[in-house]
Amino acid sequence: MEIKFRCDPNLMGHVPEPQPAKAALPAWLSRMPAQAHSTTHGHAIRTVKQCPPFVDAMTHGVIIPLPCDVHVGPESLSWDWDLPTPAAAMHPRSPLSFHVPEQLEGSPLQQGDQVAVKFNSLWTIELPEGYSLFASHPVNRFDLPFRLLTGLVDADQYHDVGILFPGLWVDPAFSGTLPAGTPVAQCFPVRRESLELDIQPMSTDKVAAFDELAGEVLGDAGVYRKRFRSKRPASFGTEETPGVTGSEEESPGGR
């Protein structure tokens, strides 16, 4: 599938490009141990670093990066960005804008009089017909001081302007610099189609299959990776991710 990213011609080379999520994995994932001692089990167990569903979710789709350094101080966000004048007169010139608190009124998202940050996208995104863009907080990135709100944009039709990514600042103690390239949003295309739910009890054969596979997964931590995990296309990462070993936690479902 082709995802078309377009940038204002005067800004090409001045803003970081979107990148496959695999290329934007956090340093802590490669640094964390593959195993850790469990006081509950009394022996070493595999960490989430060896859980394919955990890692595959982090490597899926595309990352939209922060276009410049943003300095975070007490009750302030600032940046010093020498950006050329865009060719499009209505094009944003700043990496951030804001939603006033009243736009969140009545929802659990409201945090008193705190504004919501809005990450401005300097790229337009076009998807093939019938697809929407699912945009969410970078997967499993609880280390970031903000939480992006999840949105679904019909980017097969809405693609002549950039998509804005609103979020909440969740770490008031954070002070310092969010560097250019920090993952802002993780996006992937989803097909718009009706869902049909087939809900029924397990048959005798399915009950037997459940018990058989659950026993195999509990007895061999590599069952999911070896037998069920599909090889990822090159753009979404290969079977092995640099710095991440490929096995999974000792529980049914590969988790």
Per residue in 217-231, pLDDT (tens digit) is: 988 878 999 999 988
Residue that is last in its domain, among 191, 211, 233: 191
pLDDT grade for 234, boundaries at 50, 70 and 90:
low
Q: What kind and span of H or E run contains 184?
A: strand 183-191
Query: Are residues 163 and 140 part of one domain?
Result: yes
pTM over cut 0.85 = yes
Query: Are residues 215 and 183 part of one domain?
Result: no
Hey, is 225 helix, strand or coil? helix
Query: Are residues 166 and 243 part of one domain?
Result: no
pLDDT grade for 241, boundaries at 50, 70 and 90:
low
Q: Cβ(72)–Cβ(176) under 8 Å?
A: yes
Comparing CA positions, the residue from 80, 72, 64 lying closest to residue 182 is 64
Q: How far apart are CA 32 and CA 17, in angstroms?
A: 28
| pLDDT tens digits for range 22-74 | 999 999 999 999 999 999 999 998 999 999 999 999 999 999 999 999 999 88
Tell me which of 85-89, 107-111, 138-142, 176-180 is least confident. 107-111
CATH number of the domain to which 96 belongs: 2.70.40
Residue that is last in its domain, among 159, 191, 223: 191
pLDDT at 118 over 50: yes
Comparing CA positions, the residue from 28, 85, 18 lying closest to residue 55 is 28
pLDDT at 232 over 80: no
For all residues of the chain together, what is the average pLDDT? 90
Give pLDDT, residue 235.
54
pLDDT at 250 over 70: no
pLDDT at 243 over 80: no
Residue that is last in its domain, among 154, 174, 191: 191
| pLDDT tens digits for range 168-194 | 999 989 999 999 999 999 999 999 999
Q: Which domain holds residue 108?
A: 4-13+66-191
- With a CB cutoff of 8 Å and minimum separation 6, the contacts of 115 are 98, 99, 100, 101
Query: Are residues 128 and 8 part of one domain?
Result: yes
Q: How far apart are CA 3 and CA 21, in angstroms?
A: 14
Query: Are residues 53 and 166 part of one domain?
Result: no
Query: How many domains does the structure of the chain reveal?
Result: 2
Q: Cβ(138)–Cβ(65) under 8 Å?
A: no
Query: Are residues 53 and 35 part of one domain?
Result: yes
Q: How far apart are CA 62 and CA 49, in angstroms?
A: 20
